[in-house]
Amino acid sequence: MTLEIITADSLAPLRHGFFTRRGGASSGIFSGLNCGPGSSDQSEIVAINRARVAAAMEVPPEALMSVHQVHSPDVVTLTGALPDPRPKADALVTDQPGLALSILTADCQPVLFADADNGVIGAAHAGWRGARDGVLESTVDAMIALGADRDCIQAVIGPSISQRAYEVGPEFLDDFLSDDPENARFFAGGNGDRVHFDLPGYGLHRLREAGVAAEWTRHCTYADPDRFYSYRRTTHAKEADYGRLISAIRL
């Protein structure tokens, strides 16, 4: 099976993609393109999958850059190879051609950024915690520090868990309302005291408030098991582990 890559016109002409799970070498619960070295999948199989992604991005495997994601607002600015071990952060930016910035997700938002006119790109992992703590704004600021123009930055949120599938508790709602009562718009009623959180809607809001053009591909990771891995779906199914989707962009 060939790789399936979701793209966005707003990021053209830069090579980029939100890769689905199709076209990978993993089997069992990881069946497909599992690109997560932190999973319990066989490391050599994950390496094969990542090499396929690198080939699709037209870079050598060592130029497929990723960080040790920790749900933080921290951004790494790349001027060359990443140090070993990989830094703990949740976003990368660069103005260097030939480096593919990549992010791993399994319900959280993968966000790809581009200012094609000024030759600056970014990639961010934005779950609820990272988005709330400012990883999206930090990525924009790091791009501007490299010469990007805020008015020229395009941001695209890839496959993420949708509001219908994202039920949370009252404490979660209270925390967001304490930040800003206007955040109530990102919640809808659920069963009992549960509510449903609109993670992509919140991400779009934060990006647009940061002054950049933003869109969501409108793919729900939870609702489409044939195409996407989902941490929450795996938890509900009581499976032992889950695959990680990869999203990437390069100059």
SS (H, E, C) 86-118: CCECCEEEECCCCCEEEEEECCCEEEEEEECCC
At residue 213, does pLDDT exceed 80? yes
Mean pLDDT to the nearest integer, 223-238: 97
Whole-number pLDDT of residue 88: 97
At residue 1, does pLDDT exceed 80? no
Whole-number pLDDT of residue 98: 95
CATH of the domain at 26: 3.60.140.10
Q: What does pTM read for this prediction?
A: 0.97
Is 203 part of a structural domain of the chain? Answer: yes
Is 210 part of a structural domain of the chain? Answer: yes
Is 244 part of a structural domain of the chain? Answer: yes
Is 105 part of a structural domain of the chain? Answer: yes
Is 117 part of a structural domain of the chain? Answer: yes
Q: Are 84 and 100 in contact (CB under 8 A)?
A: no
At residue 146, does pLDDT exceed 80? yes
pLDDT band of residue 83 (cuts 50, 70, 90) is confident
Domain enclosing residue 118, as ranges: 5-162+198-250
Is 31 part of a structural domain of the chain? Answer: yes
Tell me the average pLDDT of the chain. Answer: 97
Q: Are 143 and 92 in contact (CB under 8 A)?
A: no
Q: Are 42 and 61 in contact (CB under 8 A)?
A: no
At residue 81, does pLDDT exceed 90? no
Alpha-carbon distance of 37 to 50, in angstroms, equals 9
Q: Would you state the structure tokens that stand for residue 78, as one six-digit string?
A: 């790349």
Our measurement of the distance from residue 135's CA atom to the centroid of its chain's CA atoms, rounded to an integer in Å, reads: 11
Whole-number pLDDT of residue 191: 87
Is 129 part of a structural domain of the chain? Answer: yes
Name residue 136's beta-bridge partners: none
Number of domains in the chain: 1
Burial of 58 (0-12, 13-18, 19+ CB in 10 A): exposed
Mean pLDDT to the nearest integer, 165-179: 97
3-state secondary structure at position 190 = coil
Whole-number pLDDT of residue 181: 97
Is 22 part of a structural domain of the chain? Answer: yes
